[in-house]
């Protein structure tokens, strides 16, 4: 008994101390290994995401002369606000966004409603709508540029055969919105991208409880009243989320205008988007390449987009109703 | 299909009436024909117009079926545009990005979900915050940063790392993976811990095998993103040395210097790998698309 006590005493003391040390040690080790797992991704975020965000804001307030970078205050912002192209680019971007919403937002919704009603060929039709999304954008856009060609293009040939007036399509010179040039860009962009939205709507439609439709039928509701009073309210969350996502995506339009007009921005800049202008400021105006003005423009676009993506995040946090 | 049982706008009873049946048949046929024309029609021209002669491709009015088939257009487009090189470059960038994303993003999501380090929540929030700011907006500072990495003073322009490393900073991937890892029952991981498995061992032998579906989704997103990107590879690879350009950039560059039939043949060949990829994985791609976006 006594032996046990004397034995137990030192034994019970030292494990207590070592247990505390152990716990700390284990905690440190556990955290070290946890951070070890994280470090690769965190470094990539730091270098290629977080730092560039900070850098964009800093660069927009700087200037570089003869290799020396110094503080410039609001000079870059004043310069871009005084550049008439800045306003042209914004007008075009808003025009593109609105047109793309009218076509690229409503069309997929009704296509999804239509597809959801069909009992046959579902898999085939779903694949069809999504097929263009998988194409390399350059392939799709060069094909559309070929269709749009005013002399030998397919679209003008179809219009000609139907005895309709032909068009210059993406090469139309007009600058008063809505321009034919921008409508052409929107048609190509919608063909390329509508698959994603359509399939998301389709999934949302399938989540609508069937009893709601049954109840509405008992109340004598017709097709359109069912769409208005059941389908749309039931998919409202997805509808508004996609609306915001689509605004954010379309306001960053670059490649469509760039390739359809072969690296340019349309006749009289009528398809020049804000991102096209950032590219021109930073990389394309030979000799006058200016990262600082481009950064200032980037900050302006970032602020505008942040409003919409903030709205998106706010919506997705709402409890689902 | 399971979802055919879902009750939709028009009830099956209503559809089974003889008159509705005829209407349904008409609508179905119309939809199938119109959708095929709209979505496959352009692809028909993409593939057949590359077979036309240089004159026929720009002939007025355009011909529906090539009058004379010139398969040699494809061969000369392949060599003139250097499609072999472009294809190799693009695959190299895409699979490199895929491997790095899987290694780093899976590890990070696992750590955030299961190991829960100090400040993990703050790091995760900062990652999610990058979703608010789309990449194109940051193109200039990103380019400047890649040209001269802070602290390390490395210039990555022209190296594949300029595409690979930024692709790892993908908050959406980490979000999807973390959400999946969060849903793994604790008991399963506790059992591994009792058996004395290290975190790495648990990740490899327990977490990864059951996470195959979500890893498939993330992999498809990763490959498609690099495959479809245009502006970033234009700046960091083509801008450095045209021999390092991707398919998208290479075909765009060729489009201003070669004839229309060559451009179309090259575009058609560039589309083939993605079309095959889509046909093989269409089920996973379509399922992943809705899984990734709906429950956000």
A106 and A56 part of one domain: no
* % of chain B with per-residue pLDDT over 90: 33
What pLDDT does B85 receive? Answer: 92
Domain extent for A224: 76-317
Nearest chain B Cα distance for residue A161, angstroms: 10
pLDDT under 70: residue ranges of chain A: 1-19, 263-264, 266, 285-289, 318-321
Q: Mean pLDDT across chain B, nearest whole number? A: 86
- Is residue A203 within 8 A of residue A197, CB to CB? The reply is no
Q: Is A196 among the domain residues?
A: yes
What pLDDT does A15 receive? Answer: 54
pLDDT in tens, B46-92: 998 888 888 888 877 788 888 888 888 898 889 888 899 999 999 99
Question: Which ipTM score applies to this complex?
Answer: 0.88
A40 and A120 part of one domain: no
pLDDT in tens, B150-196: 888 889 888 999 999 999 999 988 998 998 899 888 888 888 888 88
Contact B108 A211 (CB under 8 A): no
B291: Cα within 13 Å, side-chain hemisphere: 20
- Residue A194 sits at the vertex; the CA angle it makes with A191 and A199, to the nearest 5 degrees, is 140
What pLDDT does B30 receive? Answer: 92
Contact B230 A254 (CB under 8 A): yes
A213 and A311 part of one domain: yes
Which of A35, A60, A85 terminates a domain? The answer is A60
A195 and A312 part of one domain: yes
How many structural domains are present in chain A? 2
A165 and A45 part of one domain: no
Which of A11, A32, A60 terminates a domain? The answer is A60
Q: Is A11 among the domain residues?
A: yes
- Residue A81 sits at the vertex; the CA angle it makes with A77 and A83, to the nearest 5 degrees, is 120
pLDDT exceeds cutoff 90 at B103: yes
A158 and A249 part of one domain: yes
A39 and A82 part of one domain: no
Q: Is A210 among the domain residues?
A: yes
pLDDT exceeds cutoff 90 at B98: yes
Interface of A with B in 104-133 (CB under 8 A): 113-132
A41 and A148 part of one domain: no
Q: Is A16 among the domain residues?
A: yes
A133 and A220 part of one domain: yes
What pLDDT does A17 receive? Answer: 58
- Residue B141, chain A, CB below 8 Å: the answer is yes
Structural domains in chain B, sorted by start? 2-75 (no CATH), 82-257 (1.10.3720.10)
A29 and A109 part of one domain: no
Q: Is A71 among the domain residues?
A: no
What pLDDT does B293 receive? Answer: 53
Nearest chain A Cα distance for residue B215, angstroms: 16
A224 and A86 part of one domain: yes
Q: Is A67 among the domain residues?
A: no
pLDDT exceeds cutoff 90 at B18: no
- Residue B184, chain A, CB below 8 Å: the answer is no
Beta carbons within 8 Å of B29's beta carbon, 6+ residues apart:
none
pLDDT exceeds cutoff 90 at B282: no
What pLDDT does A285 receive? Answer: 65
What pLDDT does B3 receive? Answer: 42
> SS3 for A229?
helix
A152 and A268 part of one domain: yes
The CATH number assigned to the domain holding A136 equals 1.10.3720.10
Q: Is A68 among the domain residues?
A: no
Q: Is A37 among the domain residues?
A: yes
Beta carbons within 8 Å of B237's beta carbon, 6+ residues apart:
B89, B93, B158, B162, B163, B244, B245, B246, B249
């Amino acid at each position: 008994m006594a032996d046990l006590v004397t034995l137990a005493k030192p034994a019970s003391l030292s494990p207590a101390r070592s247990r505390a040390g152990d716990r700390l040690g284990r905690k440190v080790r556990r955290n070290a290994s946890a951070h070890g797992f994280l470090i690769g991704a965190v470094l990539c975020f730091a270098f290629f995401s977080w730092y560039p965000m900070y850098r964009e804001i800093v660069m927009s307030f700087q200037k570089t002369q003869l290799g020396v970078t110094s503080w410039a205050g609001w000079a870059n912002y004043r310069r871009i606000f005084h550049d008439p192209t800045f306003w042209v680019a914004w007008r075009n971007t808003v025009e593109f966004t609105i047109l793309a919403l009218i076509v690229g937002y409503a069309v997929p919704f009704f296509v999804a409603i239509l597809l959801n009603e069909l009992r046959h060929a579902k898999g085939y039709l779903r694949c069809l709508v999504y097929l263009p999304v998988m194409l390399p954008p350059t392939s799709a856009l060069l094909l559309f540029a070929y269709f749009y060609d005013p002399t030998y293009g397919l679209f003008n040939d179809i219009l000609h055969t139907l005895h309709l007036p032909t068009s210059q399509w993406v090469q139309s010179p007009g600058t008063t919105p809505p321009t034919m040039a921008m409508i052409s860009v929107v048609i190509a962009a919608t063909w390329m991208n509508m698959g994603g939205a359509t399939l998301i709507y389709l999934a949302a439609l399938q989540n609508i409880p069937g009893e709601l439709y049954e109840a509405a039928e008992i109340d004598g509701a017709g097709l359109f009243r069912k769409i208005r009073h059941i389908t749309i309210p039931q998919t409202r969350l997805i509808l508004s989320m996609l609306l915001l996502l689509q605004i954010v995506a379309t306001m960053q339009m670059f490649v469509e205008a760039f390739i359809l007009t072969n690296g340019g921005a349309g006749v009289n800049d009528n398809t020049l988007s804000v991102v096209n202008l950032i590219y021109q400021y930073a990389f394309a105006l030979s000799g006058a390449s200016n990262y600082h003005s481009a950064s200032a423009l980037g900050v302006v676009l970032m602020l505008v987009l942040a409003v919409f993506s903030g709205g998106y995040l706010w919506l997705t946090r709402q409890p689902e109703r | 299909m399971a979802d055919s049982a879902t009750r939709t706008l028009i009830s099956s009873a209503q559809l089974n009436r003889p008159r509705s049946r005829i209407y349904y048949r008409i609508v179905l046929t119309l939809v199938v024909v119109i959708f095929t024309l709209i979505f496959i029609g352009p692809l028909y021209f993409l593939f057949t117009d590359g077979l036309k002669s240089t004159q026929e491709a720009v002939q007025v009015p355009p011909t529906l079926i090539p009058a004379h088939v010139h398969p040699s257009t494809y061969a000369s487009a392949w060599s003139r545009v250097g499609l072999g090189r472009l294809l190799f470059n693009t695959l190299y960038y895409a699979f490199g990005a895929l491997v790095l994303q899987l290694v780093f993003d899976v590890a990070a999501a696992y750590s955030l979900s299961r190991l829960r380090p100090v400040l993990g929540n703050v790091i995760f929030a900062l990652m999610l915050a990058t979703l608010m700011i789309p990449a194109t907006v940051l193109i200039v500072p990103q380019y400047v940063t890649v040209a001269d990495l802070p602290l390390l003073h490395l210039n990555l322009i022209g190296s594949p790392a300029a595409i690979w490393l930024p692709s790892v900073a993908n908050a959406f991937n980490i979000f999807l993976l973390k959400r999946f890892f969060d849903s793994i029952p604790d008991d399963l991981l506790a059992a591994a811990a009792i058996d004395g498995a290290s975190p790495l061992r648990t990740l490899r032998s327990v977490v990864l095998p059951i996470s195959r579906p979500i890893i498939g989704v993330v992999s498809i997103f990763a490959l498609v993103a690099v495959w479809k990107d245009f502006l970033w590879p234009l700046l960091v690879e083509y801008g450095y040395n045209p021999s390092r350009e991707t398919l998208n950039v290479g075909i765009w560059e060729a489009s201003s210097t070669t004839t229309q039939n060559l451009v179309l043949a090259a575009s058609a060949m560039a589309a083939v790998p993605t079309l095959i990829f889509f046909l093989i994985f269409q089920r996973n791609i379509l399922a992943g698309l809705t899984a990734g976006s709906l429950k956000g």
